[in-house]
Amino acid sequence: MTEILTKNPNFSEDKWTVKQTGCWEWNKARDAAGYGRFWDVKDVKAHRYALALATGGTMPESHIQACHKCDNPPCVNPDHLFWGEQADNSRDMSLKGRGGRPPVIPDSEIPVIQAKHAAGQSMRSLGAEYYTSAVSIFHIVHNNRRAS
């Protein structure tokens, strides 16, 4: 499903700080991974929204990731972002020496994942969003993550 975006007042220049590196660092809410978040009908990742606005105003499907060239999660400068398949991103991460460890989903995200699943988001789509497998999402949704 492709969403057409309109400019959201929660996404404006006073929400980030322009750094000497050229990064636009999100000043407002950030998630555990450091990505900016804000509210636009639903919870939105700020960098993903920034890139979507800059590339025609449509939000791609969740398996298409907004990746950082600058490796700075709170950065929302569209010039530092590119769309990549999840596989590109994990290859990119292993090139940077961060691969090879299982994704860690913070406890605070568990009720969020459960709620998104209850609202109809598929386990596969949630897996893509959280860089994990549909099986891991299954365990989280059924609340037996600790048993595995």
Count the residues of the shown chain that bind Zn ion, applying the rule CB under 5 A: 6
Give the footprint of Zn ion on residues 11-40 (CB under 5 A). Answer: 23
Residue 65 or 72: which CB sits closer to Zn ion?
72
* Shortest spacing between CB 20 and Zn ion, in angstroms: 11
Give the H or E element holding residue 137. Answer: helix 134-141
Question: The tokens of 12 are what?
Answer: 């404006």
Contacts of 55 (CB under 8 A, 6+ apart): 78, 83
State the amino acid at position 90 in one-letter form.
S
Taking CB under 5 A as the criterion, the residue among 46, 52, 64, 75 binding Zn ion is 75
Side-chain-side CA neighbours of 70 within 13 Å: the count stands at 18
**Does residue number 125 form part of the binding site for Zn ion (CB under 5 A)?**
no
How far apart, in whole angstroms, are the C-alpha atoms of residue 26 and residue 128?
A: 23
**Does residue number 66 form part of the binding site for Zn ion (CB under 5 A)?**
no
Residue 82 or 131: which CB sits closer to Zn ion?
82
* Shortest spacing between CB 104 and Zn ion, in angstroms: 23
